[in-house]
Amino acid sequence: MTDTAEPTKAPRNQWWDIWGQFRTHKGAMICLVIFVTILLGVAFGQFLWSIDPTYIDIRARNQGPNLSHPFGTDQLGRDTLARMIKGGQTSLAVGLVAMLLALFLGAFVGVVSGYFKRLDGPLMRLTDLFLALPLLPLLLVMVMLFRQPLSAAFGPETGIFILMVCAIGITSWMPTARIVRGDVLALKEREFILSARSIGTSNTKMILRHLLPNVMSPIMVSATLGIANAIITESALSFLGLGFPPDFPTWGRLLFDSVDYLQQYPERVMWPGVAISLTVLSVNYIGDGLRDALDPRIRGR
């Protein structure tokens, strides 16, 4: 008697399932294209548009959009498109690095708090303390205290970049910590964790091999939201005149410099405002699509 059983198919890769679910979210896919376009534009735009963003041409100042300057020029004759590209590099770099710092702190505090019961109380009270602090006044105090020392030690541009990243990252890790802690508390009572503990798995291996891979979903969603929060915070500080030096453009700094010319040249406010809005909106939609795609209760429907 011949065996007519069909050969078993190889199991489908989980990441393909996640990608398939993510593609069903039309808003997330459209915003992914927009966000990637913005990233490519600020990363490689300087090679296509080679005008120096700091070049001053008084004869070309306060021009509107034209063939030589598609986004116009500012009050000193500097090309707005070149400054938008350079400012986007700074704003996105601050957002990405600050997000990574906030994720590292939040994931570390959340995992340690959820796994070690004796540390849960102190770490959560520390988290509540940071959540209770007013964010904007705290950022202003940090900028005023550390701006000059860091600028003297690393230079005005690098020093302010370090200050922005640290200030935003240190004040943004709390939501991630609380989400990760909740997931760890639920996971550490699961059967596979109890089995690993029964064979003598060390705490470090337990966290790295079993807990962290299973809490990557909320961490990835927090990452997308963290980028948007960091970009808005940096733009707000730059708009208040507490960010990077005047000759070092960011999208927030471009907004700040354009306020005095709002009535005469409203397009100067429009360009950085649209860039910030599109970036933040795209990242939020991507996070919404990731949340749905990473939820096993939704995936596969």
Candidate from 54-63, 66-75, 78-87, 213-222 with smallest mean pLDDT: 213-222
Q: Cβ(160)–Cβ(238) under 8 Å?
A: no
Candidate from 11-20, 140-149, 210-219, 286-295 with smallest mean pLDDT: 11-20
Q: Residue 138 and residue 133: Cα distance in Å, rounded?
A: 7
Please give the share of the chain, as a percent, with pLDDT higher than 90: 20
Q: Residue 119 and residue 132: Cα distance in Å, rounded?
A: 20
What pLDDT is recorded for position 1? Answer: 46
The answer on pLDDT for 210 being more than 90 is no
Query: How confident is residue 160, by pLDDT bands cut at 50, 70 and 90?
Result: confident
Helix, strand or coil, per DSSP, at residue 73: strand
What pLDDT is recorded for position 40? Answer: 93
What pLDDT is recorded for position 192? Answer: 82
- Each residue of 129-139: b (16+ CB within 10 Å) or e? ebeeeeeeeeb
What mean pLDDT do residues 123-143 have? 87
What pLDDT is recorded for position 13? Answer: 63
- What pTM was computed for the model? 0.83
Q: Residue 45 and residue 277: Cα distance in Å, rounded?
A: 19
Q: Where are the alpha helices (DSSP H) in 188-266?
A: 191-198, 203-205, 216-239, 251-258
What mean pLDDT do residues 85-104 have? 90
What domains can you pick out in the chain, each with its CATH number?
18-46+81-294 (1.10.3720.10)
Q: Which two tokens stand for residue 135?
A: 């964010």
In this predicted model, what pLDDT tens digit does every residue of 178-191 receive, in sequence order? 989 988 988 888 88
Q: Residue 276 and residue 18: Cα distance in Å, rounded?
A: 28
What pLDDT is recorded for position 23? Answer: 83
In this predicted model, what pLDDT tens digit does every residue of 21-49 receive, in sequence order? 788 888 889 999 999 999 999 999 888 88
Query: How confident is residue 297, by pLDDT bands cut at 50, 70 and 90?
Result: low
Contacts of 234 (CB under 8 A, 6+ apart): 91, 94, 95, 98, 164, 168, 243, 250, 252
What pLDDT is recorded for position 11? Answer: 56
The answer on pLDDT for 140 being more than 70 is yes
Q: Cβ(211)–Cβ(48) under 8 Å?
A: no
Task: Concatenate the DSSP letters of all residues of 183-206 into one string.
Answer: HHHHHTTSHHHHHHHHTT--HHHI
Candidate from 8-12, 126-130, 236-240 with smallest mean pLDDT: 8-12
Please give the share of the chain, as a percent, with pLDDT higher than 70: 93
Average pLDDT value over all residues in the chain:
84
Task: Concatenate the DSSP letters of all residues of 29-57 into one string.
Answer: HHHHHHHHHHHHHHHHHHHHS---TT---
Q: Which two tokens stand for residue 209?
A: 């091999």
In this predicted model, what pLDDT tens digit does every residue of 250-291 receive, in sequence order? 888 888 888 888 888 888 888 888 998 899 899 888 888 887
Would you put residue 65 in left (φ > 0), alpha (ψ -120 to 50) or beta? beta
What pLDDT is recorded for position 113? Answer: 92
Using the structure block, give the residue that is written with the tokens 């490689």: 44
